[in-house]
Amino acid sequence: MNKKNPWFALFWIALLLVALLLINSMLRVGQEVKLEYSQFKQYTRNGNMVKVSVAKDLIKGQFRDSDGVLKNFRTIPMEDHNLIKDMEDNKVLEFSAMGKGWVGPLLFNWGPMLLLIAFWFWMMRSTMGGSKQAMSFGKTKAKLAKTSVIKKVTFKDVAGCDEAKEELQEIIEFLKDPAKFQKLGGKIPKGLLLFGSPGTGKTLLARAVAGEADVPFFSSSGSEFVEMFVGVGASRVRDLFEQGRKASPCLLFIDEIDAVGRHRFAGIGGGHDEREQTLNQLLVEMDGFDTREGVILIAATNRPDVLDPALLRPGRFDRQVVVSAPALKDREEILLVHSKKIKLDKDVDLKIIARRTPGFVGADLANLVNEAALLAARNCQKSVNIKNMEEAIDRIIAGPQKKSRLMSDSEKRIVAYHEAGHALIAKLLPSADPVYKVSIVPRGFSLGQTLQLPEKDKYLTSKTDLLDRLVILLGGRVAEELVFFEVNTGDSDDISKATEIAVRMVSEFGMSDEIGPMALRRPNEEVFLGRDISSRRSRYSEETSKIIDKEVKSIISDARNRALKLLKENMARLIKIADYLLERESLSGEDIDKIIKEESVVPECEESIALEEKKKIVVEKEVTNAEVVDAKV
């Protein structure tokens, strides 16, 4: 509702006046004493009446009671011809006939009805468009972006996503020069679907397309089409495409299209569900009887598995562009874009930061740079250094440090041996990812962490890699068993992850000799009601289930035995790593390499002193060189 509308102010003023009149009337009625007519006559004869007002069906005024207190009263009159004579004989100070006011009764009796009528007119005026139609619920809420705003974002602002940008470049060229494609008889795709994980830059790509093409760009979200009123969604879809045809050639962008494009008749509502009617209208507008070229629809979603098949067929969404998580090179480019406005130290190497952030999407990397800048500002630094970047990575992966969580010495020792077990086995296994950092500082829900980072992006995982991963996961638990001769609840997360990997090896990846190459379980994905509930029945017999359980147990037992053997053979190294962790709370991968090679590890304080001395030497050399130059001049 538009609060600048004059009807808005008038409505609340009228409501306030009626409320005040009603409250005043109720207060006055509550303060009046109700007298019987005989009591009224008695008080009159005794000379206690001070003020009397007479109407046809009511007498009210003031009187003094037996204690001399002045009170208001009201009574119902009866047929009494001597009333006026009694008033005169007993010398009532003020006697009058009560007037018939019309404002009070009107507001009291008709006030609520008048308020309802005023509210209805107010709603009608606030929902009417410029053309003063009855209501504008059916009008699209899509926003036409201004040219000055569109041109601010181009492909230069979108790092990575090279394959997606190539697909979109063809759309841009068609919008700029349609004759180039039409003379060969080619048709440009009517729709283009961008899908990928959250934060990969789908919406940013759509904005960049609008900036490059320099054509009208209408943007909306899927949730704007579905309302509580039946038929509104379909009407808004029609209005959106009608506006697009008037501004042809143009781009229409619908973000989170899964809000309206979900699979029809999926168990939610009936065949005439409002969402389904909206989807039907969208299907018709994209490729129905009345279609005209020049309107290109771009949609984005992170749930392509729930979209209706009719929406994904050629002729509607002809192109489906995957916006995947950025690779190593792409992460470096994204970091470069987001760090343009950040003052970085010379020791910050974005290549190293990109290598340390596998699996991070564009939104994560933007958050990483911002977190590092906030940490530097908190410490009153003049620039962002490598320590700020590393702390920001740890905060995003595991959460901020829990400085208030104080562990006892015995618990700290258990965590140190647990993390030392993970780190030592990861160093001893040749196919494992390199250990980047080991810490017993509580972060988030974890009491410690062993961070492994791959040297390069991996797209395939072998059976050997998975088995080694199981050995590393169980290394912490086995280390506790060897040193403390018991286990605790802190191992639950490792056991859960190890069990999940083993189950998938047997039932999904076909890595069990007993079961063979059979897919006995659906890949991990979110359940979609109506499509998956009925189809999630067991694909195998009870006997096969027993074999799966046996194979899973065998894989985990073998991994535990390998971890036990490795740690028994390297017990001295395990104890040494744990002692260093108890002393320093965190170790780098280089520190663990030195411990395994039985080299001395320089304490952190000595490292910082050495770095400071190096900086002083460099500064002194620069000053000396400057003095020499001045002397020569």
Which of 419, 500, 590, 627 does the annotation list as catalytic? 419
CA distances from 275 to 225, 228, 301 (A): 9, 10, 17
Task: Tell me the CB-side half-sphere exposure of residue 291, using CA atoms within 13 A.
Answer: 18
Q: How many CB atoms lie within 10 A of CB 324?
A: 16
Span between the terminal Cα atoms of the chain, in Å:
76
Residue of 198, 204, 199 lying closest to 164 (CA atoms): 204
C-alpha R_g of the chain: 40
Cross-strand partners of 33: 73
What are the tokens at 80? 């009494």
Q: Residue 357 burial by CB count (10 A; 0-12/13-18/19+): exposed, middle or buried?
A: buried
Distance, in Å, from the CA atom of 151 to the CA atom of 157, rounded to the nearest integer, reads 11
Determine the number of helices (DSSP H) and then strands (DSSP E) in the chain. Answer: 22, 14
Is 419 part of the annotated catalytic residue set? yes
What are the tokens at 426? 């990861």
Residue of 329, 295, 134, 325 lying closest to 217 (CA atoms): 295
For 281, phi then psi, to 5°, come to: -65, -35
Q: Are 347 and 385 in contact (CB under 8 A)?
A: yes
CA distances from 227 to 133, 223, 233, 299, 311 (A): 19, 8, 7, 20, 21
Distance, in Å, from the CA atom of 226 to the CA atom of 223, rounded to the nearest integer, reads 6
Cis check: omega of the bond before 517, within 30 degrees of 0: no
For 423, phi then psi, to 5°, come to: -65, -40
DSSP assignment of 245-283 equals HHT-SEEEEEESGGGT-BPSSSSSS-TT-HHHHHHHHHH
Residue of 574, 588, 600 lying closest to 420 (CA atoms): 574
Tell me which long-range contacts 460-467 makes (C-beta under 8 A, separation of at least 24): 463/505, 463/509, 463/511, 464/431, 465/431, 466/501, 466/505, 466/509, 466/511, 467/555, 467/558, 467/559
Taken in order 460, 462, 463, 467, is the CA torsion positive or negative? negative
Residue written as token pair 């504008």: 136
Which residues are known to be catalytic?
A: 419
